[in-house]
Amino acid sequence: MARSLLALASALPAVMALNNGLALTPQMGWNTWNRFGCGIDEDLIVGSAKALVSNNLTALGYNYVLIDDCWHADSRDPDTGAPVENKDKFPNGIKGVADQIHDLGLKVGIYSSAGTYTCGGKFGSLGFEEIDAKTYASWGIDYLKYDNCYNEGRAGTPPVSYERYNNMSRALNETGRPILYSMCNWGEDGPWNFAVDIANSWRISGDIYDNFDRYDVRCPCTDMLDCKLPGFHCAVTRILDFSAPLGQKAGRGHWNDLDMLEVGNGGMTFDEYVTHFSMWALVKSPLILGNDVTDMSDDTKTIITNDAIIAVNQDPNGSPATRVWKRSLPDGGDLQLWSGSLVNNQFVFAVLNTGTSNHTEDISLIDVFTDQGKSFGSGTFTLFDLWQKDDSGKWGKNIGDFQGKVSVTVGAHQTKVYRATPASGAKRAVDEL
Ligand SMILES: *[C@@H]1O[C@H](CO)[C@@H](O)[C@H](O)[C@H]1NC(C)=O
Ligand SMILES: *[C@@H]1O[C@H](CO)[C@@H](O)[C@H](O)[C@H]1NC(C)=O
Ligand SMILES: *[C@@H]1O[C@H](CO)[C@@H](O)[C@H](O)[C@H]1NC(C)=O
Ligand SMILES: *[C@@H]1O[C@H](CO)[C@@H](O)[C@H](O)[C@H]1NC(C)=O
């Protein structure tokens, strides 16, 4: 009984997603906003696209080059109402930029808001969905990030938010061009419930801030499931807390978006950025770089090129890791265990320490395999530490076979990530159900 129900459940998710064939694994790329804000132009964007290629980031999957806010002219075309770009910043138009990005083998995205203005005060798309979508398609756009500023109060209940965001979803579909639809409504009205079949991803919270755990009154919610003011300046550990109950809502073609990455922007330590990158990957958030990719430190490159962590994010199973437990530590921080399953009877788990001192803990493998059952979790597993390199220099060092428990030491603000596979001779998960 249990087995057939599970088999059925795993066959379902693809059916419910937005039917545009995109984002079957979380989208990856680079966006202008976190680092450059409104200070963007053609040279910056095309130069960054070239840097993605020359740094081999595109080979790792970072394929979308995303133009965020402030590409706009002061106003729309007065005759047609069509959106117009700022000709000083984009002398060849957005189309000219898109052509150059396509020539590099990459895809290109643009930004607007489901409101009268964008968050940067430019013209928004509310009431202009069709002409905007058509214009984007004619420019060769492959991706739309769609914000929530100046929404004229058309929010507050799921049906109203749904209708407003669905108006753009339909307009994009009607262009006939597959355009990845990335909703950015800050989790308002619970998009994980209402947007599954109209968007490829939805932001779950207020904007990220380049900080590990600082409380900021502008990110006032403690629980996104009951949040009236998503705010912004949300630290990494807070967004992760918000995401903890939402894993079940995401899957192939429809993802929880924890917001763009801050790795490389300078507000966090190496270990904190490792935590940020690892956890975004495990919960299957889009991985959108937000740093200056033309000028990166070796530490930044080390983090964003860890292909073992990226493989977890891009696992075809599309199953977000969930938090098994969160325990208070004596130093005021907490220790968290997250686990998830991958294709081919592989699993991933992470141990995260938000405290300020080193901590060593025996992690129970029965806890890790909560979803697979006690009998399965009692088996022997080969573990690979995904932040250590093996002898051949590849990420993912075999640290041995374990049964029952594994002792894990995690430094302050650090995360350890392990891939687990049943040791040879062990039964497959499905046999144990
Ligand atoms: C538009 O929606 C229909 C129905 O879901 C789908 O079959 C089609 O692929 C979509 N087209 C685009 C371009 O997204
Ligand atoms: C990119 O990959 C190529 C081929 O593997 C390699 O020769 C080159 O050094 C790499 N470049 C960078 C910047 O890592
Ligand atoms: C959706 O579009 C329709 C038709 O243009 C419009 O009447 C309606 O007000 C829009 N809904 C929202 C919530 O913006
Ligand atoms: C934590 O562990 C690391 C690595 O073992 C060590 O270098 C560091 O000094 C330790 N820090 C503290 C505060 O004990």
Q: pLDDT value at position 379?
A: 96
The token pair that represents 352 in the structure block: 């995260």
- Parallel/antiparallel/unpaired status of strands 201-203 and 180-183: parallel
| CB-defined site of ligand 1, < 6 Å | 19-20, 173, 176-178
Give CATH for domain 28-314: 3.20.20.70
Asked whether 358 lines ligand 4 (CB < 6 A), one says yes
Measured from the Cβ of residue 256, the count of other Cβ atoms closer than 10 Å reads 26
The token pair that represents 184 in the structure block: 């950015």
Q: How many CA atoms lie within 13 A of 11 on its CB side?
A: 6
**8 A C-beta contact, residue 137 and residue 177:** yes
* Number of the ligand closest to the Cα of 165: 3
**8 A C-beta contact, residue 262 and residue 208:** yes
Measured from the Cβ of residue 88, the count of other Cβ atoms closer than 10 Å reads 9
Which residues, other chains included, contact 168 with Cβ-Cβ below 8 Å and sequence gap of 6+? Answer: 114, 125, 129, 132, 133, 144, 146, 181
> Has domain 322-422 been given CATH number 2.60.40.1180?
yes
Which residues, other chains included, contact 274 with Cβ-Cβ below 8 Å and sequence gap of 6+? Answer: 303, 387, 414, 415
Q: Which of 124, 123, 50, 43 is nearest to 89 (CA)?
A: 43
pTM (predicted TM-score) = 0.94
Which residues, other chains included, contact 348 with Cβ-Cβ below 8 Å and sequence gap of 6+? Answer: 282, 312, 321, 339, 340, 341, 342, 386, 417, 418, 419, 420
Active site residues: 147, 207
Q: Ligand 4: distance of its center to the CA of 355 in Å?
A: 13
Which residues, other chains included, contact 217 with Cβ-Cβ below 8 Å and sequence gap of 6+? Answer: none
Ligand 3 atom closest to Cα of residue 154:
13
Closest C-alpha to ligand 2, atom 4: 56
User: Tell me: the pLDDT tens digits for 176-200?
Assistant: 999 999 999 999 999 999 999 999 9
**8 A C-beta contact, residue 227 and residue 234:** no
Averaged pLDDT in 10-residue chunks for the chain of 433 residues = 44 63 98 98 98 98 98 98 98 98 98 98 98 98 98 97 98 98 97 97 98 96 91 96 95 97 98 98 98 98 98 98 97 97 97 97 98 96 98 97 98 98 65 36
Could you tell me the residue ranges of all domains in the chain? 28-314, 322-422
Q: Ligand 1: distance of its center to the CA of 179 in Å?
A: 10
Ligand 3 atom closest to Cα of residue 114:
14
Q: Ligand 2: distance of its center to the CA of 304 in Å?
A: 15
Q: Ligand 4: distance of its center to the CA of 350 in Å?
A: 19
